[in-house]
Chain A
Amino acid sequence: EDKVVQSPLSLVVHEGDTVTLNCSYEVTNFRSLLWYKQEKKAPTFLFMLTSSGIEKKSGRLSSILDKKELFSILNITATQTGDSAIYLCAAVYNTDKLIFGTGTRLQVFP
């Protein structure tokens, strides 16, 4: 059965901390992995990862994919309260479908 597992489920940190969010997958016909940030409403796109070992970076956020070990990590450095959100990863399989993990809820306190 195809599945995506995220860990930890929840994380509480102080501003300035660095966090690492994990996403492992077992998906038939895997094509790519997506990371989304969900605040109060719609998930918003962060990264798409297709190739192993190539880091994607956007400001304080970065992500990398390991297709051999079937996982991805999302790093956030120097966290801010605005980073508080649920972070979702999703594996793209076949041509059109996503399978999502349950998400990691990150809370950043001042």
Chain B
Amino acid sequence: NAGVTQTPKFQVLKTGQSMTLQCAQDMNHNSMYWYRQDPGMGLRLIYYSASEGTTDKGEVPNGYNVSRLNKREFSLRLESAAPSQTSVYFCASKTSGQETQYFGPGTRLLVL
């Protein structure tokens, strides 16, 4: 099992460009999450999907959209990137009834 995978690993964008971060899990988990991690801020929840077909906002959703494409895949889209979105983005997943989330390796995004 690969667990949680994320692509790309690293990306540089110019202000105003758009991009989609991809996340997939092969653990048959129902719930999936997107976090961003900034120095001194810890991990903050952007969006989550408790089950296929549902998505909800987290703590810092502004400037992002998500799509739960199917049970395995959960993508995060930046429509018009801003320098404030420079961060490391982590995807996570968990199974229903359990509370432990399992994380992907992260995507480092730099917006110039």
Taking Cβ atoms with an 8 Å cutoff, the residues of A that contact B are 4, 31-32, 34, 36, 41-45, 48, 88, 90, 92, 95-103
Of A32, A44, A48, A88, the residue contacting B43 (CB under 8 A) is: A88
Answer yes or no: B110 CB below 8 A from chain A CBs: no
Indicate which residue in A41, A44, A97 contacts B106 across the interface (CB closer than 8 Å): A41
Closest CB in chain A relative to B88 CB, distance in Å: 9
Query: Bound complex: CA of A34 vs CA of B43, how far in Å?
Result: 13
Inter-chain contacts of B4 with A (CB < 8 A): 42
Binding site for A on B (CB under 8 A): 4, 31, 40-45, 48, 50, 58, 90, 94, 99-106
Complex partner residue of A103 from B31, B42, B99, B102, CB under 8 angstroms: B42
Mind listing 17 A-B residue pairs with CB under 8 Å?
Answer: A4-B42, A31-B99, A32-B99, A42-B90, A43-B90, A44-B103, A45-B100, A48-B99, A95-B50, A96-B31, A96-B94, A97-B45, A98-B43, A100-B42, A100-B44, A102-B42, A103-B42
Please name all residues of chain B whose beta carbon is closer than 8 Å to the beta carbon of A96 when the two chains form the complex. Answer: 31, 48, 50, 94
Contacts of B31 in A (CB 8 A): 96
Of chain A, the residue at the smallest CB distance from B59 is A99
| CB within 8 Å: A-B pair count | 47
Known: A34-B101, A98-B45. 7 other contacts (CB 8 A): A34-B99, A42-B106, A92-B99, A96-B48, A98-B101, A102-B40, A102-B42
Q: Secondary structure at chain A's binding surface: helix, strand, loop or mixed?
A: strand
Residues of B within 8 A of A97 (CB): 45, 48, 58
Is the beta-carbon distance between A42 and B103 smaller than 8 angstroms? yes
Cα-based distance from A34 to B106 in the complex (angstroms): 19
Residue of B nearest to A6 (CB): B42
- CA separation between A98 and B106, bound complex, in Å? 17
Which among B31, B99, B101 has the greatest number of chain A C-beta atoms within 10 A? B99
A96 to B50, CA, bound (A): 7
List residues of chain B with CB within 8 A of the CB of A45.
100, 102
Q: Give the Cβ gap from A50 to chain B, nearest Cβ, in Å.
A: 8
Q: Please, which residue of chain B has its CB at the minimum distance from the CB of A9?
A: B40
User: In the complex, A88→B42 CA distance in Å?
Assistant: 8
